[in-house]
Structure formats: structure tokens, C-alpha cells
Amino acid sequence: MKLGIILWLMISFSVFGQNGLKIASHELQEKIPFRLINNLIFVEAQINGVPMTLLLDTGVSETILFSIDDKEINLKEVEKLTFTGLGDGVETQGLVSKKNEIKIGNFQDANHTVYIILDIDFNFSSQVGIPVNGIIGHDFFVNHPIKIDYPRKKITVFTDRNKLKKKLKKYNAIPMAIINNKPYIYTEVMIKNSNISSKLLIDTGNSDALWLFPSNMKDFQLNEPYIDDYLGRGFNGDIYGKKNRIKQLQIGPFLLKKITTSMPEDLAIKNLKFVPDRVGSIGEEILKRFDVVFDYQNEVLWIKKNQFFDDVFQFNLSGLEFKHIGMHWQKSDSETKETIANNTQSENIVFKNFQYQFQLKPLYAIASCRPNSPAYLAGVQKEDQLVSINGKPATEMTLQEINSIMKKEEGKQITLKITRKGVPMNFSFILKDPIPYVEE
């Protein structure tokens, strides 16, 4: 499932040096809970004392803010600058602010540089279903080994390498190169029947499994079947390309098969300055299948397969992308019973009282509908407002639950109730995989 949160960043000014986050106590480790939503990691932080929700993204070097909402934050030593990056646009205006304080529990930095995107349209909160204020990248990982436990939704920051060493006995070490503050590894990608040694960015900010850049790969041959699809949003606009499945990917001793793969069109990557030999990115749909330890200082990625390892690589079979469009007040009825003795008869009379409560409930709409997909052929359209799925009110569901339904097994029937310009409508369709892997 793609989420529209595939982010690269290049800055037209030199990056300011900073120290990165460190554990501010004498503890041997710090445990940080996180939320895993649509394969993406979100942590709670404070920047200059103001609470923020940040995406943890190894694919960016900087800490970036883009949606502060109604929060008031005092930013220090502010200058203007220009962003360029992935997407079909050219550039985005922003600010840089130095000497800020950031805290994530006892993990903190008192001299932190923050970049601010001023474009109010750059905000992926609606695609996640929670308010997201920004991204933190390299500075989260640079000073200490970081373990990510996806099943338990816990991050562990280690200061005692002897303690860490004991925990790594069952892990496999993968050599990792930190280039321009980002982690890269070599893997073996098999497309059709040929193995290609591939240098890939490890990108926790990408919700997909695998991205490949065909123009960077010699003698690339596209597997069929494939679809043309919306792949996400970068700093400079929407990203389109092709999606299919490749035969397999090998990381160290681990072999992953029939992997959903996204390939952005050349226009979307024209502004990127690739490190030499890079051909793509490994995203969270793959990473979440392992317990992962990032050791930037020693340039090693430690991995051990977890309970998600054998899960099938899922894909949104409906063709629909959903977005959170706000909240509304919904009335709920609660019934109370009161028993009163009747003086003229030896029986009790029960009176029912109804109390009305109003609760804020989420609203969802169709963000996009892929041409020729099951939902498209049934008649669903972009901007239709979602009322229910298979009889369950959409207001009782999270965005992640909605997306999960659309990744169920092929052949499952989906019934949608929507409103289109205030008119209620019903649609029904069968989930179908448009990109099954075909052996040659």
C-alpha cells in the first residue's frame, strides 16, 4: 500500500552541522513507544517545549516541520531557503532555524537545526489519519545504536554497547554505508531470472516495500503485468509511475519473494542527485518483517526476522486511496432505565430515559480512484464521501482499518455506501489483484 509519504530532500544551502540526539541521563538505554500506522513510525517529541508528532524517516538528513497547526513555537535564528526534491514541481520555499531544543523522552538535543516548509498544501496528515507535524531523520540515529521492534512498537536507544552485543547474538550483520547522512546497503534483486547487485537506500519514511529506478539500472526489463499508478507525494508534487511484482530480493541470508515494487517515472526523479550506483529504496513493508538495529557509527545494519516475515506482500486491490477530511459531531443515544413502585398495583413500572451525547467522529473521502480498478469500474469517483464499508459506519473506523480492508484476499466483495454532492449512493465490487506475479 502506498501512502503518499515518500520523501527525499535536497537543500539549496549547505546543511548546518549539528550534534544529533543523545540520552540525557546515565541510563544504559532509553525505550521510546511509537505508533505504527500504514507501515510508518510516528514518535511524540517536544521542540522548544511544544508537543509535536514526527515521522521517523531514515531517508532524510534533517528535522523538518510542515504542519504546526495552531501550535505556537518560538524558533530561533531563522533564515530563508529553498527546497528541491522528488515530485513533478521545481522548488518549495522554506525556512531554517538553528539552536532549538528537541526532546523525545530522555533522548534530546539542545542545539538542533529545524527546517520549515511554508507550503500549506504539503501536509500528509489526511493520508495518515492523525495530525503529523514533521519528520526527524539522521539526527535520531547518529549517536547511539537504535533498535526498532515492530511487533511491540518500541524503539530502544542503547548507550551500553556490551548490553547491545548480548542482544545481537541471533541477528545477522549487514554492511551499511552512511552517505550524506543516509543509510545504504547492497542487496540482490532478481527481476525475471537475472540477479542484479543493487545499492538501495534504507528508507523508513517509505510505506511501500521496494522502489526501483529503471533509468539507473542497466538492461532493466519490466515484469508484466504492471499498472500505471499514483505512487505518493514528494516535496515538489505528486509522484506517478508503474507498479508490479518482482521475483525476489535477497538481504543477507534472507530471501523475500513476489515483492510489490514501485517505479517512479523519470520526471518525478529529475531533481534528485543520486549517490553513485543507487538504484532504489527499501521501505517499511520490507523492514517491518525484521527486528532491526541501526548502528550508524559502525555502519552496520543488524536484522533478525520477526513474526511478520512470512506475510504476503499486500497491495490495495480496490484501486481506492482514502483521505481524512475532518471531524463532525455525531449524535449517539444512550438508554437508561429507572424502576418506580406503583402505589395502586404490586408491580413495578419501568420508564426509559434517553440521553443524547454528541461525539466528534472522523470523516473520510476518496482521494483517488485508479482507472480500470474494481472500484473505478463500479462507478466510485474521486471526492466521494465515505459513509460505510460492508455495513460498518466509516465514522467508527480508522484510516488504517479502512486501508487494511482494501488489502484483503482477492475475491472478497466490498460494498460501499457514499454520498456524492449530498446524494447517497451504493456500490459493490470484488477485490482483484492487478499485478499477480507470473512465472516465466
Q: Give the per-residue SS3 of 297-323.
A: CCCEEEEEECCCCCCCCCCCCCCEEEE
* Nearest Cα residue to 389 out of 412, 359, 361: 412
**Residue 271 identity:** N
| CATH label of the domain that carries residue 371 | 2.30.42.10
Cis peptide before 225 (omega within 30 of 0): yes
Of the residues 160, 194, 224, the one at which a domain ends: 160
Q: Is the pLDDT of residue 184 over 60?
A: yes
Model pLDDT, residue 192: 81
Average pLDDT of the segment spanning 298-325 = 94
Of the residues 104, 135, 160, the one at which a domain ends: 160
Same domain (yes/no): 270, 365: no
Average pLDDT, the chain: 85
Same domain (yes/no): 282, 419: no
Q: What residue numbers bound the domain in which 109 lies?
A: 10-160
Model pLDDT, residue 217: 87
Same domain (yes/no): 140, 204: no
pTM: 0.87
Same domain (yes/no): 33, 139: yes
Does 439 map to a domain?
no
144-166 pLDDT tens trace: 999 999 999 999 999 988 889 88
Q: Are strands 237-251 and 227-234 parallel, antiparallel or unpaired?
A: antiparallel
Same domain (yes/no): 156, 177: no
Does 312 map to a domain?
no
11-50 pLDDT tens trace: 433 444 457 999 977 778 899 999 999 999 999 999 999 9
Does 62 map to a domain?
yes
Reported as a pLDDT band with limits 50, 70 and 90, residue 341 is very low
Same domain (yes/no): 266, 368: no
In degrees to the nearest 10, what's the CA dihedral of 242, 243, 248, 251? 80
Model pLDDT, residue 299: 98
Handedness of CA 7, 12, 14, 17 (dihedral sign): negative
Same domain (yes/no): 210, 260: yes
Same domain (yes/no): 362, 425: yes
Mark out the alpha helices in 137-293 (DSSP H runs).
Answer: 138-141, 161-167, 284-287
Does 435 map to a domain?
no
Model pLDDT, residue 440: 66
Does 165 map to a domain?
no
Spatial distance between the Cα atoms of 56 and 43, rounded to a whole number of angstroms: 7
* Cβ-Cβ contacts under 8 Å for 60 (sequence gap 6 or more): 7, 8, 9, 135, 137, 138, 182, 205
Does 57 map to a domain?
yes
Model pLDDT, residue 340: 41
Same domain (yes/no): 95, 213: no
Q: How many C-beta atoms lie closer than 10 Å to residue 304's C-beta?
A: 16
Q: Is the pLDDT of residue 183 over 90?
A: yes
Phi/psi zone of residue 248: left (φ > 0), alpha (ψ -120 to 50 degrees), beta?
A: beta
Model pLDDT, residue 364: 94
DSSP 213: -
Model pLDDT, residue 27: 75
365-394 pLDDT tens trace: 999 899 999 999 999 999 999 999 999 999
**Beta pairing partners, 145:** none
Same domain (yes/no): 31, 135: yes
Backbone φ and ψ of 400, nearest 5°:
-65, -40
Same domain (yes/no): 153, 193: no
| CATH label of the domain that carries residue 45 | 2.40.70.10
Does 141 map to a domain?
yes
Q: Are the C-beta atoms of residues 11 and 179 closer than 8 Å to each other?
A: no
Of the residues 132, 160, 188, the one at which a domain ends: 160
CA 210 centroid distance within chain:
13
250-268 pLDDT tens trace: 999 999 999 999 999 887 7
Model pLDDT, residue 333: 52
109-145 pLDDT tens trace: 999 999 988 877 677 788 888 889 999 999 999 999 9
Same domain (yes/no): 32, 154: yes
Q: Could you give the number of structural domains in the chain? A: 3
Spatial distance between the Cα atoms of 235 and 94, rounded to a whole number of angstroms: 11
Q: Are the C-beta atoms of residues 190 and 255 closer than 8 Å to each other?
A: no
Spatial distance between the Cα atoms of 77 and 364, rounded to a whole number of angstroms: 39
Does 328 map to a domain?
yes
In degrees to the nearest 10, what's the CA dihedral of 389, 394, 398, 402? 20
